[in-house]
Structure 1
Amino acid sequence: MTRIAFLDFEASSLARTSYPIEVAWVFADGPSESYLIRPAPGWTDWSPEAERVHGLERARLIREGVAHDWVALHMLTTLRDVALYASAPSWDGQWLSRLLRASGLPRHALRLRATREAQRSAILDVLAHGGIPLPSRDGIAGKLLADLRRDAQADPAPDHRALSDARRECRRWERARSLAEATIRAAEPGFAD
Structure 2
Amino acid sequence: MLVFLDFEASSLGKKSYPVEVAWVFEDGTSRAHLIRPTPDWTDWSMKAERIHGLSRRRLHLEGTPVADVARDMLETLEGHALYASAPSWDGKWLSVLLRAGGLPRHALRLGKSDDVFLEHAREIMDGTFTRREIADFVKGMIESTEPTQPAHRALADATLEHTRWLAIRKAAAEAVSERGNASG
Cross-structure match for 1:98: 96
TM-score (norm 1): 0.89
Per-residue CA shift, 1:161-188, capped at 9, x if unaligned? Answer: 1001110111111111122111111023
Q: Distance in 1 between matches of 2:64 and 2:162?
A: 25
Q: Is the 8 A contact 2:82 2:111 kept in 1?
A: yes
Aligned residues: 184
Q: Distance in 2 between matches of 1:150 and 1:58?
A: 33
Unaligned runs of 5+ in 1: none
Q: Distance in 1 between matches of 2:175 and 2:103?
A: 44
Are positions 1:146 and 2:139 aligned together?
yes
Cross-structure match for 2:72: 74
- Which of 81, 84, 93 is equivalent to 1:83? 81
Unaligned runs of 5+ in 2: none
RMSD (Å) for aligned C-alpha atoms: 1.7
3-state secondary structure, aligned to 1:8 = strand
TM-score (norm 2): 0.94
Are positions 1:157 and 2:149 aligned together?
yes
Q: Is the 8 A contact 2:142 2:164 kept in 1?
A: no
- AA matched with 1:58: R
Q: Distance in 1 between matches of 2:29 and 2:180?
A: 37
Q: Distance in 2 between matches of 1:22 and 1:70?
A: 13
Q: Distance in 1 between matches of 2:182 and 2:159?
A: 37
Cross-structure match for 1:8: 6
